[in-house]
Structure 1
């Protein structure tokens, strides 16, 4: 069923009034600052805002005004503000996690190097202790437990 010119003007006025309310931040609960909420608030079918439908120019106007407000730094929709805040927090956490992973990798590498050095030193000590017991030129020193007896 086609609408009359008077009905169309009346619908456009309702849409513009709803548009002004949304852009002032008067967003109904469960809604957002979007075409779906605009159509619902104006009592018009949402599909009338798309393609070559009668109110497509009002959708373009609404999106343009919304973009201008967003460029000016105004955030009308609390959901959008929360999403932006969470995106910023996620980026911060990703950077923190990357830094922590980098630090963990550096510490793991340092620990592995230290363990390798300790193992090599232990092997060298074992080799020195057992390898030269038969050499005549090497004198074994007494351990700290043995008492050294010498001239007094």
Structure 2
């Protein structure tokens, strides 16, 4: 990676952003078709790597396997390692909790992915994951709670997780 006449702060911001993208990508939150535009944004933020430049010019409709391979090569060229999938997923769980606390997601939105299967490690993660049902229609059946009680408990658990000590740097 080489600077392209941008300030160090801008370049470091690009690295931080691309590191976050790598974590979200590894957690399955970013589809391959979004990666060419993300590569273009990383270039605009001051990063410069051969495969990043190449990927930025690809269409969204390129073969997803090729996009993934190029993105992972670009990360390598930028000195960014892909995080362990389980760690990336745990970071994703924390982002999910923060978005829920901020009102960006509803309780039904939490049941749209397989978050309930996340391998939680901390007490805060376990409490939050335990309240995420497999589907929104199964709250009472799955958890044995009425919906208002479940919502209240879920908000408390999400707030605790969102304010918990961060995981190791990287995502």
TM over 0.5: no
TM-score, normalising length: structure 1: 0.28
Structure number with the bigger relative contact order (C-alpha 8 A, sep ≥ 6) is 2
TM-score, normalising length: structure 2: 0.25
Larger Rg: 1
